[in-house]
Amino acid sequence: MRIGSRPELWKRGLVPAALALLLGLFMLLHAKVPNRIGNLGSLAETFLPWFGLFIPVLLALALWRRSASAVAALLLPVVVWLHLFGGLLGDKSHPGSDLTVVSHNVGADNPDPAGTARDLAASSADVLALEEITPQAKPLYERELAKTYPYHTVQGTVGLWSTLPMSDTRPVDIETDYGPLADTKPVDVKMAYNRALRTTLATHQGPLAVYVAHLGSARVNPRAGFWTVSRDRGAQALGKAVAAEPNERVVLLGDLNGTTDDRAFAGLTSQLRSAQDTAGNGFGFSWPATFPVVRIDQILVRGVKPDSSWSLPATGSDHLPVAAGISW
């Protein structure tokens, strides 16, 4: 007997059908989820790809209920998820890059910073950005990376090592800890808490502006919800710095403590594009290193072309290093 002649197949399973439609609408309209209560919009966008896991669950429920309406309703979340993330499933990389860049939050609690430095030096990166450098570990990184990278700078807790000469190097005050009082900070306090820098690399194709940043943490708190005040303030300040950057070629490397789907980074993603989204293979999750579920370590570019993007093997940090090949 044909399905069309059995109306009960369409009448049963209305609950899973409704849940499927709600799931599809939620993913489609995620930007409309308000942040006023517990920053729920940003929290949902941080883990947005994982909402696709509800699709096979609802499919199993629909088949168990023998519900044609639930199966049909699942078309909406499937189409929406593929529209949002289907492009990340394939390998978009290709060879031929002019420059390889690596970014790594090396972790303040890293038990083996020297070993981490040696692993990163072996990555063949031309440019290496490190975040969360402690005063105790700084000499170890400088010693282990000196042979591979003749040029380097450390500004507060972030640093950049390069095979190319640097100039116009300076800290970038992203106001992570002090907010409106940033202008009143003493110079020594600014340097101690500095979490971003900017420099110019002299390449064979011309100057390249490079930013390294470590934005404030994002935490889930039962009382405050998804707490991102410090991070969001830093993202806005960093976006203004990039907007004022006169060099048309820009690379931003760092731990942004958020994904590019998060609306909090609209000021950056409107100016820069993600190397992982453009030339990666898969989602490129980078945290936590033991079982990565989100990509909060980013490589964003403007005026150059990402050719490839990938994650490096785990080090002693709780983050994975991320890498990208770029060309002009």
Q: What is the pLDDT of residues 85-102, one digit of tens each?
A: 999 999 999 988 999 999
HEC states along 20-62?
HHHHHHHHHCHHHCCCCCCCHHHHHHHCHHHHHHHHHHHHHHH
Average pLDDT rounded to a whole number, residues 134-149: 97
d(CA 37, CA 25): 20
The chain-wide mean pLDDT, for the chain, equals: 92
Q: 116 Cβ partners below 8 Å, 6+ apart?
A: 104, 106, 110, 315, 316, 317
Closest to 157 (Cα-Cα) out of 144, 141, 168: 141
- pLDDT of residue 323 exceeding 90: yes
Q: What is the pLDDT of residues 259-280, one digit of tens each?
A: 999 999 999 999 999 999 999 9
pLDDT band at 185 (very low <50, low <70, confident <90, very high): very low
11 by Cβ neighbours in 10 Å (0-12 / 13-18 / 19+) ranks as: exposed
Residue 239's Cβ-side half-sphere holds a number of Cα atoms within 13 Å equal to 16
d(CA 309, CA 317): 20
- Residue 252 belongs to what H/E stretch? strand 250-255
The CATH code that applies to domain 99-327 is: 3.60.10.10
d(CA 139, CA 15): 61
**Do the Cβ atoms of 42 and 228 come closer than 8 Å?**
yes
Owner of token pair 């000196």 = 146
d(CA 101, CA 322): 8
DSSP state at residue 246: -
**Do the Cβ atoms of 130 and 106 come closer than 8 Å?**
yes
- Looking at the DSSP assignment, which residues form a beta bridge with residue 154? 159
Strand residue runs (E) in 115-176? 127-131, 151-155, 158-162, 166-171
**Do the Cβ atoms of 74 and 27 come closer than 8 Å?**
no
Q: What is the pLDDT of residues 5-16, one digit of tens each?
A: 466 767 778 999
d(CA 83, CA 271): 22
| CB count in 10 Å sphere of residue 41 | 20
Q: What is the pLDDT of residues 107-141, one digit of tens each?
A: 999 999 999 999 999 999 999 999 999 999 999 99
> In this prediction, what percent of the chain has a pLDDT beyond 70?
92
d(CA 301, CA 204): 18
State both tokens at 292.
Answer: 């990565």
